[in-house]
Amino acid sequence: MFAGKTVWEILQIGGFTMYVLLFCSVLSVTILLERLIYYRRRSRVSRMEFMIGIKRALKKGDLETAMGICQDTQTPFSRVVSSGLEFSGRPEKEISNAMEREIAIETTKLERYTSIVGTIGNTAVYIGLFGTVLGIIRAFHDISAAGAGGMSIVIGGIAEALVCTATGLFVAIPAVIAFNYFTKKVESFMNDMELCASELVDLMRVE
């Protein structure tokens, strides 16, 4: 049915819903690449390696070195620890509250744009089905207007309309996979931040 057709011709067959799906696809891929780069840059240092350096500095009472390690690391959990170190000498509750606020801020940054990908994954199939329904309606309308054609025209019109459903699936499946990956990655970052916060409270309590 679509042999020899260009992308432009296939888009025209699907109607305006194909353009919506194309936009959703481009947006989803753009966010995926941006998030992958963002997460990669913030995963260069392991939490355990980072905390070993913090423990050594605090055992020596060298708060400045500990703050320097945080600034050099530039990860979500290093910012959480940095916010706690800034409240050094304050009551434990204030230190914990400062780190909890920073965890909330970093989590928001980590989750940025991910809901868009999740929405695309949930709705792309329905957009495709909507385009298919419109295509079928258009096919039957054309047959009714022509008053002839038989099953060959009906089947041809439906086959062309189904390109929207296929495109919707093509857009939705990668988006769902990407969203699940984002969710797991954010959970991993959150666990690291919470563990670092807990360890720092214990270290500062000892100190």
Q: Which residues contact 182 (CB under 8 A, 6 or more apart)?
A: 35, 111, 114, 117
pLDDT at residue 141 tops 50:
yes
Taking alpha carbons only, the member of 91, 45, 93, 97 closest to residue 71 is: 45
| Alpha helical stretches, state H, 74-162 | 76-85, 92-110, 114-146, 150-161
On whether the CB atoms of residues 150 and 71 are closer than 8 A, the answer is no
Taking alpha carbons only, the member of 28, 29, 72, 38 closest to residue 53 is: 72
Q: Which of 65-69, 162-166, 196-200 has the lowest mean pLDDT?
A: 162-166
AA letter at 53: G
Whole-prediction pTM = 0.81
Residue 147: pLDDT band with limits 50, 70, 90: low
Place of tokens 């002839």: 148
Instruction: Work out the percent of the chain whose per-residue pLDDT is above 70.
Output: 83
pLDDT of residue 155: 66
On whether the CB atoms of residues 132 and 164 are closer than 8 A, the answer is yes
Query: Taking residues 17-27, what's their average pLDDT?
Result: 90
